[in-house]
Structure 1
Amino acid sequence: MAKKKALNTGLNELLADIDGVYQGVYETIDSQKIRHVHINNIQPNPNQPRKDFDEEKINELAESIKQHGLLQPLIVTECPDASYTLIIGERRLRAAKLAGLEEVAVIVSDIEQHKLRELALIENIQRENLNPIELATCYQALISEHNITHDELSQRLCKSRSQITNTLRLLGLRKETQNLIAQNKITQGHSKILIGLGEKDEETIIQSILGQKLNVRDTEILAKKIKEKKHIAESNETGIKQDSMSSSHIEKSKLKELQKILQHYRISTRAHTNSITLIFSDNASLQNLIESLHQNSINH
């Protein structure tokens, strides 16, 4: 419990770091603490969870930087080789390069190296419009690294528990489906319908969404039909098995009764003629057998 509490405290500290960077640094920073460094000396955070950036928005930001300059310094940490690793501001760094800037203003933070990944995760969750799969990956990484529950993460990120849980469930879909969600080829509304289906049914519905341009409502109807059809097939299969077991039980029961009836008679078999001969001592014995077999037939 103590270990978990310590990890949770660490996450709170990281959140405080983010808030401090955004809310306080730019307002209170001494101009002497701002450095101007060559843009090529800044390397992206290798732990940056965001993989896709909106190129149109990057271009718009680049045009703004050309006209007004880079209004807010980037946040970096200094490396032993005198280069810098970006902590916050990858969109601005990309746009600044696109705008042709050679030098940019930076604030050097003393954040420890091992916190860079977690800071990148939280910074993206709080400040960027991640696609649902990237967001789910960030959530899962924070949960795993800090050994916390969905509810605890939701409280620390000020998001609903259901939003956290539903987003994480997307990671249970096929990788191909996750890629389609990340590329915005299917919506998050579509993806919620796919959760819990088998891989085969998931693939069938995906093909229909893409091929027939199904909206969310049509996709719900298709998923319902597939589930109902599967349920009927499973019910029929169960019924067949039960009938087979019942029939087998009846046949065994009949065989036992017949053996019981025939045990009082002499039986002779002839393999070459595939025949069984019953030998009776008198007509009364024969009549008793006929009546027993007849009664057994009526009962079944």
Structure 2
Amino acid sequence: MKRLGRGLGAILEDAEAGYLKDLPNSGVSEIDVLKIKSNPFQPRREFNEESINELAESIKKHGLIQPIIVIKDKKDDNYILVAGERRLKATKKLGKDKIKAIIVDYTVDDLREYALIENIQREDLSPIEIALSLYELIKKHGYTHDELAKNLGKSRAYITNMLRILNLPEEVIEKIRKKELSLGHAKVLVSLSNEKTKEIAEKILKENLSVRETEKLVKKIKENKKDDYLNEDIIKITEKLKENDIKVEIGKDFIKLKYKNDTDLEKLKKLLGINN
């Protein structure tokens, strides 16, 4: 599988900086502005109208110095914008029909993959959003934990720990999503059984426990009640099952596998090596 690595990322960074170190083979083209679609995988951003007007005046006076970056939409005769939304808006404001563009040889899947990698770096994402993005990169794009760590400039432990919070009970995940519980709290809770996790999560909220206080509480539970926490092997088994889209519920003395339909059942049979 092709790895984006610095490929598309380098082109985007160079484009936004106002120059290209690696000009794609396709060169610069003049394309119809009406044929350019917004990037569906990037979060919506606010654009300062005054800034767009100033850019429009600059383009009117000096022309468009830096082309926008697009990919070809295989479904029709249109293009998908990759970089240069401000330039495109300013060009449209001037009433121009054409705009200079560099058409890069990437697919919509590549664009989705790059957007996921880029969005993980955003500071306003919740831990759950980051964890789900990491999971999608592994599941749909074939990344290993080591590859993700290298691409994101993170440690392998960071990747593993972020993914582990997806093993938490849904009620607890929702509290993390709403930022009622922090990532620090989540990392402490992952070693507990589902029922104990729910109990401690409620205690954290009720008593406004810090991460440090939660660590002490969980440590005490582990020392006094061995059955209330899960060892590393149980956590790894759960992670492996979830990687294969098997719904899992874990407790102090059980691992429960769930399925809703024949598709889920077939996944489970395939994982266990059971043939019809």
TM bucket (normalised to shorter chain) is 0.5 to 0.7
1:85-124 mapped onto 2 (5 Å cutoff):
85-87=80-82, 108-124=103-119
Q: Deviations over 1:137-187 (max 9, x none)?
A: 222233334544322332233321121221121121123322322332211
In 1, Cα distance between equivalents of 2:208 and 2:194: 20
> Retained in 2: the 8 A contact 1:76–1:86?
yes
Partner of residue 194, structure 1: 189
> Is contact 2:193-2:228 (8 Å) kept?
no
Q: Secondary structure at the match of 2:154?
A: coil
TM-score (norm 1): 0.54
Could you say which residue in structure 2 is the equivalent of 1:290? Answer: none
- Give the superposition deviation at 1:193: 0.8
1:22-66 CA distances to partner (integer Å, 9 max, x unpaired)?
125731389964767359x63442xx3x77x7xxxx55x536645
Instruction: Give the letter aligned to residue 19 of structure 2.
Output: E
The alignment status of 1:16 with 2:11, answered yes or no, reads no
In the alignment, structure 1 residue 77 sits paired with structure 2 residue 75: no
1:108-146 alpha-carbon deviations (Å, 9 max, x no partner): 543223323222222223566533222222222333345
Structure 1 position 203, deviation (Å): 0.8
1:295 equivalent in structure 2: none
Identity of aligned pairs, percent?
A: 34
Give the Cα–Cα distance (whole angstroms) in 1 for the partners of residues 219 and 49 of structure 2.
Answer: 49
Count of residue pairs the alignment pairs up: 209
Q: Distance in 2 between matches of 1:176 and 1:138?
A: 20
For 1:132 and 1:33, locate their aligned partners in 2 and report how far apart those are by CA, in whole Å.
Answer: 41
d(CA) in 2 for partners of 1:124 and 1:136? 11
Query: Which residue matches 1:37?
Result: 33
Q: 1:37 is aligned with what amino acid?
A: V
Partner in structure 2 of residue 243 of structure 1: none
User: Counterpart of 2:48?
Assistant: 62
- State the secondary structure of the residue aligned to 2:209: coil
Quick one: distance in 1 between partners of 2:204 and 2:95?
47
Matches of 1:64 and 1:192 in 2, distance apart?
A: 44
Check if 1:143 corresponds to 2:122. no
Structure 1 position 233, deviation (Å): 9.2
SS at match of 1:27: coil
TM-score normalized with structure 2 length: 0.58
Structure number with the higher helix fraction is 1
Write the distance in 2 (CA, Å) between the matches of 1:210 and 1:37: 52
Deviation of 1:195 after TM superposition, in Å, equals 0.9
1:278 alignment partner in structure 2: none
CA contact (8 A) 1:170 1:191 kept: yes
- Residue among 190, 213, 216 paired with 1:218: 213
**Equivalent position amino acid for 1:17 in 2:** L
Q: Which runs of 5+ in 1 are unaligned?
A: 1-6, 235-300
